[in-house]
Amino acid sequence: MEGCESVGILASLDVAAPTIAREVRVTNEVPYRNEHRELAARLLRETDANGGLAPVDLEKFWADQKVARADPFGRDIPQLAFGASLTGECVFDELGIEEDRWRYQRDEEWRLSLNRRYNDIAERIVGRRLLGESRRDPTRAYPATRGLHDVFEAENVWHCESWWLKQSADNEDELKALLDRVDARDIRSFILPENWAEEKERLMALGVKPRLYRGQRGPVTFATSIYGAENLIFLILDNPKLAERFRDTILRVILDIARVLDEEAGYTPETAPRGWYWCDDNSALLNPEMYRLFGYPILEGVFGRYSPDLGDGRGQHSDSAMGHLLPLLGELGLTATNFGPTVPVAEIRRHIPGAVISGELAPFTYSRNDREGIILELLRDFEMVGDSRGLVFATAGSINNGTRLTSMRLAMAAIQRYCRYTS
C-alpha cells in the first residue's frame, strides 16, 4: 500500500480524554507530510503527461467502489469509499454557460438537455453518466404537504440562488404568540392538502406510497431561521424556560408530522422504516452547555422514536466548525457524519467511533480544482482514520459549481493508487 501507512499524523495527536475547552480548539490545520507531497507530485506529473486526465482504471475503480460504498467498515473492501461524485450544481462551469439555478430547478427540458450534454463529458472522463436524464411523471406524484417551517409560519423564499426561510418571530412576545398558534394546530389537517384523500387513493392503487419524513434542517439551524441567530443565543441565556418551550414544541411537531405521514403510508410505529438525518450547520453557534439544553434533547427525542436500536441510522451534516460539540454528539451514537472541513477525521473517530465519516475534503479545495490540495487532503484523512476504516472521502459540505470532472477523476485516481486496503 503505497504512501498510506497509518502513522505520522495520528502519532502527533493528543489522544487523552478531552476537556470542553480543548474541544473548542479542534482544527484540521495539520501540516501535510513531505511524503504526501511527493506522492501528490508524482500523480500530477503523470496526469499532466496524460493530457490532464489522471491515470485510473475506471472499470476497476467503479467495481471496487461498489464494494467499498456498501460497507465502508468492511474488512474485505478493496479501497477507500468515494463520496464526492459531482452533481447538477456543477453543470454550468463544465459546460461554459451562465449559472441559473432557478431555471435549472424549474425548466425540466432545459435541465435535462444540460444533463445529457454534461453526462456525455462525464462518461468519457469518469466512466459514469452522473445526472438524471428521465422526465418526471407528474401523474405519479403526490400533492405537496406542508412542512415544519409551514407549521411555524416561516416563508420559504428564493434569494441569492438558494432557498431561505424568513423569520416568523423577532422578540419574546412574538415567539410566545407563535408557539401558542402552533400548539393550537391540528397537524394532520394542517399539513395535508384538500385533495390528499382522493390523490392518495389513486396513487396507492398504482402502488405509489407517499414519501416519509426522515430528515430535517437541524434544531439549531431551524430555530435560528425562525427566530434569528442572536435572538436564539440570548433566549437560551436570558429566558431558558421559553427556550425549553420552543425546543419542546419543535420536537413535538417533528414527531407529529412524521407520525401522520407514516400513517398515511400505511405504517404503524412498529412497522415504520427507521433512520433519521439532520442538517444543522448552525449548531456551531452554541457552546456545549447551550447545545445540551436546546439541540441535544431534540436529537435524542427523534432518535429515540425513529432510531431506537443499535444500527438504526442516526446521521448529521454540519459543515461548520462544530468540533466542540463532538463529545455530545458521541453520546447520541451517530452512525453517519458529515462535518465541517476544520473538524479532523481523527477527532470524529475518537468521539464517535461507530460512525461512517463522510469528509473531510474542503468544498473550496474541490471547486477551485486545487489538484495538489485534493490529493493531500485525501492522504491526510486516509492516514488519520487508519485501519479503523469507515471513511467515505467526500466534501465536508456541498459540492459547488466550478468543480470539474477532471478533479473528480483525480480523486478517484488517488484513491485507486494510494488508498487501498490489503485485508
Q: Which band of pLDDT confidence, cut at 50, 70 and 90, is reported for residue 23?
A: very low
Residue of 382, 416, 380, 391 lying closest to 43 (CA atoms): 416
Q: Is residue 284 part of a domain?
A: no
Question: Which residues lie closer than 8 Å to 269 by C-beta, 6 or more apart?
Answer: 259, 262
In tens, the pLDDT along 208-266 reads 999 999 999 999 999 999 999 999 999 999 999 999 999 999 999 999 999 999 999 99
Question: Which residues lie closer than 8 Å to 231 by C-beta, 6 or more apart?
Answer: 170, 171, 224
pLDDT of 267 > 50? The answer is yes
Q: Is residue 156 part of a domain?
A: no
Distance (Å, rounded) from C-alpha 236 to C-alpha 175?
13
Question: Which residues lie closer than 8 Å to 41 by C-beta, 6 or more apart?
Answer: 372
Which pTM does this prediction carry? 0.89
Q: Is residue 3 part of a domain?
A: yes
pLDDT of 5 > 70? The answer is no
In tens, the pLDDT along 361-383 reads 999 999 999 999 999 999 999 99
Q: Is residue 45 part of a domain?
A: yes
Q: Which amino acid does the sequence have at 325? A: L
Total number of domains in the chain? 1
Task: Using CB atoms within 10 Å of the CB of residue 139, give its burial: 0 to 12 exposed, 13 to 18 middle, 19+ buried.
Answer: exposed
Q: Is residue 244 part of a domain?
A: no
Count of helices and strands (H, E) across the chain: 20, 9
Residue of 292, 144, 324, 305 lying closest to 219 (CA atoms): 292
In tens, the pLDDT along 393-403 reads 999 989 999 99
What's the chain's average pLDDT? 92
**Bridge partners of residue 164, in order along the sequence:** 157
Distance (Å, rounded) from C-alpha 181 to C-alpha 172?
14
Q: Is residue 55 part of a domain?
A: yes
Q: Is residue 179 part of a domain?
A: no
In tens, the pLDDT along 29-67 reads 667 899 999 999 999 999 999 999 999 999 999 999 999
Whole domain around residue 380: which residue ranges? Answer: 1-86+335-423
In tens, the pLDDT along 87-124 reads 999 999 999 999 999 999 999 999 999 999 999 999 99
Q: Is residue 326 part of a domain?
A: no
pLDDT score recorded for residue 162: 84
